[in-house]
Every structure is written in structure tokens, then in C-alpha cells.
Chain A
Amino acid sequence: MNQETAEILWNAPAGASVYRIGLSCGSEYARADAGQFATLRLPEESSPLLRRPFSIHRLIRNDGEFQGIEILYKRVGEFTRKLSQAPAGRRIDILGPLGKGFTVTASIKRPALVAGGIGVAPMVFLAEKLIQAGMASDGAVICLGGRSADDVLCAPDFQAMGLKTRITSEDGSIGEKGRVTEALSDWLKDHSPDMVYACGPVPMLDAVSKIAEKQDIACEVSIETVMACGVGACLGCAIKDTRHQSGYGHVCIDGPVFNAARLELTDRH
């Protein structure tokens, strides 16, 4: 983990209110795990006060040489509005890589990835890592869901990697009409994944973890919370965690990826 000033390589729209930003950060990120995150601050801005956490979307390589990281973000508040206006060439304060990522081992051959809306951000990196670890890409499925077509992101990236994709939208404007959890349940009728990975809103993660638990499939979820320090000092990002001695884990250092079985997600939404 380190704090550095990175150059913005690009910062371009990637959909409705969604952007991809490339950052020329140090080689420590070349060893980052999928699911790890970094916190950003615009050095010239005094507001908002706190750094904002973003998961690593993918590593940027040029002829195999590490160049930096890309973050996929949605413009939702003051920070992301200001970030979306930052031009290439500008410097940005980045702290990372932080947290614990998804478990990736050579033994995982047929996982189901589940992403809701901007929760897809760490999943592209995860799919790459799984393939690098020896997974045949057509053994995996990614269920992508959102409210409407605008919220369903990165489908071409997964298709290019060779993953099977299942797309849902709540309004039916793209893919099957319905929730992403229904797509997962459908998949489970004929398949038995060896792992479920999920990232998205907490109600979705709660539903996904219950489906996985019912079928006795290991499940990892990536949790987003407000956090202040990102390094385990302030203890602000507490989450009920049955494996933690105090009863609370901390999203920034114990997560953001957790084994779903140890969390109590139901009372968080």
C-alpha cells in the first residue's frame, strides 16, 4: 500500500453517467488482487473532505508492461461529479491497493459471477484473474443485471473473454425482464458452480448469498460502505461479522470481499 500522485491517462464516458478513468500509478498495483480497491482525492479540492474508495476495474498493460489501473465509476455525488470533469494529464492523489480481494485459485473451474449495476466494476478484473489461474473461460457464467439497459455494463468485455453471459433488467429494456438473482437461480437449475462471486447493492448480495447457501455453494460478496481512512485505523466501516472476535469486521481491511456466510446482511437494507 502506498500514497502517490498519479497522472490521469484518460477519463472518458462509458455509458449513461458511467466513466472509465486510467491512472498511471506505481507497480505495486501490478500485484493487486481482484476485489482490492484504492481511494482517490483531488488534490486541489477541499470538498468533499474524505477520500472515496473505488475497486480496481482492470490493470493497464502496454506490450505486457504495467502502466497503471483503470477504474470504472458512476457519477452519483459531489466527488464523482468533480472526478468526471478532471481532464487527462491532471494529477490525482491515490492510496492503495487496499483491502482483501476475491479468492482465486486454480481449483475454481466453473464459478458464477453476479453483478448488479456498477457492482460490475471489480468483476472484469476477477474474470481475468480466474482465467490466468487456469479456469476455462466458457466454464464460467456472469449474470449482469440492472434497473434498465443503462445499468447493464461491460457485457462485451465478458463476451470477449469467452464467459457465458446472462443479462437481466428490471424494466426489460435489455436481456430478460427481471432481477439478476432470477438469472442466477435459473443457471443453478442445470449447473452446479464451485463458487459464487457477487458485487452490487446489499439487498442483491443478501439474496445471492441466500441462494448460494441453499445450494451449499461457497459465496464471496464485495461490500461497499462509507469509509474514512481505508487502512483499518478509524474503525468507521464496521459490519456485523460473526467470525470477528468483537462481532464487527471492518470493510476496509477484513474486506471489502467477505465470505458471505460470515456476514449478517439482512439487517443492512
Chain B
Amino acid sequence: MENSLSVNIGGLLLQNPVMTASGTFGFGREFESLVDLNRLGAVIVKGLAREPSPGNPPPRIVETPCGLLNAIGLENIGIEAFIKDKLPFLAPYASAVIVNVYGQTPEAYAAVAQRCEGADGDGIDGLEVNISCPNVKAGGVSFGVAPEAAAEVVCAVREKTTKPLIVKLTPNVTDVTGIAEAVVAAGADAVSLINTLAGMAIDINSRRPKLGNITGGLSGPAIKPVALRMVWEAARAVDVPVIGVGGISTAEDALEFIIAGAAAVQIGTANFTNPGVTMEVIDGIRSFLSREAIGHITELIGTLSTK
């Protein structure tokens, strides 16, 4: 495990800091022939709830300048089907497996976390609690915009899990540091940010929204500067590892987040445009460290100079 790229994310040891963002990499198998699943830091699987759910009516995606607006609506197979049908494929790979969890109530989140504690959940290395999806009415983002509600969910999950616990934050707030501090106080081992920015697009001819859900979440290169700013703010506010997410499509993008204070990164929309992107980012980070004569990635984290 020890190499120039290894990182420790709140007790979760990763062979490198490159993860796949939830909802952009399925359950790993979809990318089996496109990516070496043994080389990723972690695979964060599609968000899972206690029960399966169908997701939003189509159209679910629309491209906007340098970005992707989606309203998938957390279509999910449920934690039980994941553990039975998906985990046995993914668990043997060297990449860590992180389950992204969502629910309608704190208890529903906790139930998913508890289910992951079973012997058949051994292959699950950590949890990422999603309190930031903008596309479902109940649950999701309603917990992520108020410190007290966010803390309540995290406390409920913390009680039921022994695994490293990451909390994924929404950018759709005035001050992300207050939310970050609240979830860390409630027991989060790390925070990841940002989830998508709430947005919409309109067809002027039909005067109808371009998404079935009317509004959606914006991802892709368009949101990278916003994500970078929020990661920088969060990294200065909390003393747990921060995971940078938002518009990363090259090693240079990932390095910007690491310099801003991210201990690891997640790659999302870029998996759609360039399925092999994660391998390129890992190789590019390694080359950069070598070129800059940096012995270990941790020496680069949070080294932004503002003088």
C-alpha cells in the first residue's frame, strides 16, 4: 500500500487519491473493459437507499456549455441487491469500495449503514453519506443545507457504522464551512465536496423545461472553479481530510484541488466523456510528483501560497 501516492482518508487507506464519483461509474463493472479496476484509489458506487427506487421521468440529462445538467433522481437498486449482486464482483479488486448512502429520514440512512456492517458487507471499505443530491424532493439536499439537519443524519449513521465515514456536501448553501464543521462534530471522518450545483435549462420553442424534473444538478468543467473555491474554504475550516470533487478531467485539475487542500479527489462527469480518464489522472499526478521532486503526495496537500 505504501507508495508515493498513498493517502489515509479518515482511516481509509487508499493506494492513490483518485476515486470515481458516485453516480458516474455505476458499480465498477460497467467500466471493466475500459479501466484497470485494480488501479483506482476507490470506487464510490451509485447512491443506494434501503429500498429500490425508479428515479425521475425522462429527459434526465441535457448538455449545457462545458457542463452536464442531470436529474436522474437517485434511481437505485437498493442496498440489498447491491450486496447480493454487485459487491461480489467489485470487492476482490485492489480499489477500495465506498458505498454512497441516501435516505428519506435519518433512520433510513442509518439502516443502510447498518446493513453494510453484516458479514456479507466486508468488502465495503467505507461509506459516503449523500446529503446533497438536488434532484429528490424528500431527503438528500434538504439535510445538507442546514447544519443541525446535516448533523442529525451523520449522528444516526455514525451510531451504526464502524467504517470510515465521508459526508458529501452540497454547494447550494451560503456558507459551506458551517455545514462541514457540523458534520465533523457529528462524527464524519472526512468530507467530500461539491455535489452538483442546482440549475435548469429551457426549450424556448416549446417553453418547457429541458429536464423532466424541471431543475437538475450541474456538473462538469463549468463548475470546477466553484468547487475549487469551496474545497479551499472547507480545508481551512475542518481538520479532517477533504475530498475535492467538481469538473476534474485532467491530472492538472486534480493537482489544483490537492494544492487547495484536498487529500483526495473524485472524478465524475469526465468518466462519461473519456472513460479512461482516471488512469490518465493517476499517471499524471505521479509524473508531476516526480518532475517536482516531491517524495510523497501528502507533501503537496494544502500547499497553496497566497502571499
Contact with A along B132-147 (1 / 0, CB 8 A): 0000000000000000
A225 and B63 CA atoms in complex are apart in Å by 13
Interface window among A136-144, A179-187, A211-219, A235-243: A235-243
Chain B residues contacting A201 (CB-CB under 8 Å) are none
Looking at chain A, what size class is its interface with the partner chain?
20 to 34
Q: Contact partner of A235 among B52, B57, B60, CB < 8 A?
A: B60
Chain B neighbourhood of A230, CB < 8 A:
272
The verdict on A236 contacting B60 (CB below 8 Å), with A41-B273, A41-B274, A229-B271 known, is yes
Docked Cα-Cα span, A245 to B274, in Å, equals 30
Q: Please, which residues of chain B bring their CB within 8 A of the CB of A239?
A: 58
A49 close to B (CB within 8 Å):
yes
A234 lies within 8 A of B54 (CB): no
Chain B residues positioned under 8 Å from A234 (CB to CB): 23-24, 61, 70, 72, 272
Q: A49-B220, A234-B23, A234-B72 are in contact. Are A3 and B276 (CB under 8 A)?
A: yes
What is the CA–CA distance of A228 and B67 in the complex, to the nearest angstrom?
11
Cβ contacts under 8 Å, B271 to chain A: 229, 233
Q: CB distance B55 to A248 under 8 Å?
A: yes
Taking a contact as CB atoms under 8 Å apart, the answer to whether A247 and B54 are in contact is yes
Cβ contacts A231-260/B at 8 Å (1 or 0 each): 111111111100001111000000000000
A233 touching B55, Cβ below 8 Å: no
Q: Is the CB of A47 within 8 A of B273?
A: no
A46 at the interface (CB under 8 A from B): yes
Contact indicator per residue, chain B 28-49, by CB within 8 Å of chain A (1) or not (0)? 0011011000000000001000
Return the chain A residue nearest B70 by Cβ.
Answer: A236
CB of A226 within 8 A of CB of B34, answer no
Chain B residues with CB below 8 A from A48, complex form = 63
List B contacts of A194 (CB < 8 A): none
Judge whether B25 and A51 touch: CB under 8 Å: no
Across the interface, do B68 and A238 meet the contact criterion of CB distance under 8 Å?
no
Contact check: which of B63, B75, B221 meets A246 at CB < 8 Å?
A: B75
Complex contacts, A47 vs chain B, CB 8 Å: 65-66
B92 interfacial by beta-carbon distance below 8 Å:
no
Interface assignment of A188: CB less than 8 Å from any CB of chain B: no
Complex CA gap A232/B27 in Å reads 10
A4 CB to closest chain B CB, in angstroms? Answer: 10
A1 at the B interface (CB under 8 A): yes
> Which interface class (under 10, 10 to 19, 20 to 34, 35 or more) fits B?
35 or more
Give bound CA distance, A39 to B57, whole Å. Answer: 24
- Is the CB–CB distance between B273 and A49 below 8 Å? yes
Once the chains bind, are A49 and B75 in contact (CB under 8 Å)? no
Q: How far is the CA of A3 from the CA of B55 in the complex (A)?
A: 29
Whether A226 contacts B62 by the Cβ 8 Å rule is yes
Task: State the CA gap A229–B221 with chains docked (Å).
Answer: 16
A192 CB–B CB distance under 8 Å = no
Assembly CA distance A2 to B62 (angstroms): 25
The verdict on A14 contacting chain B, using a C-beta distance below 8 Å, is no
The answer, yes or no, to whether B26 is at the interface (CB within 8 Å) is: yes
- The answer to whether B34 touches A228, judged by C-beta atoms less than 8 angstroms apart, is no
Of all chain A residues, which has the CB nearest B276? A3
Interface residues, chain A, with chain B CB atoms under 8 Å away:
1-3, 41, 46-51, 93, 95, 225-240, 245-248
Residues in chain B within 8 A of chain A (CB atoms) = 23-26, 30-31, 33-34, 46, 52-63, 65-68, 70, 72, 75, 220-221, 269, 271-276
16 contacts between A and B (CB under 8 A): A41-B273, A49-B68, A49-B273, A51-B273, A227-B61, A231-B26, A231-B275, A233-B24, A233-B272, A234-B272, A236-B72, A237-B61, A246-B53, A246-B55, A248-B58, A248-B75
Nearest 5 A/B pairs, CB to CB: A233-B26, A236-B61, A246-B54, A228-B272, A229-B272
Beyond A49-B67, A226-B61, A246-B54, list 5 extra A-B contacts (CB 8 Å).
A50-B272, A228-B68, A235-B75, A236-B72, A237-B61
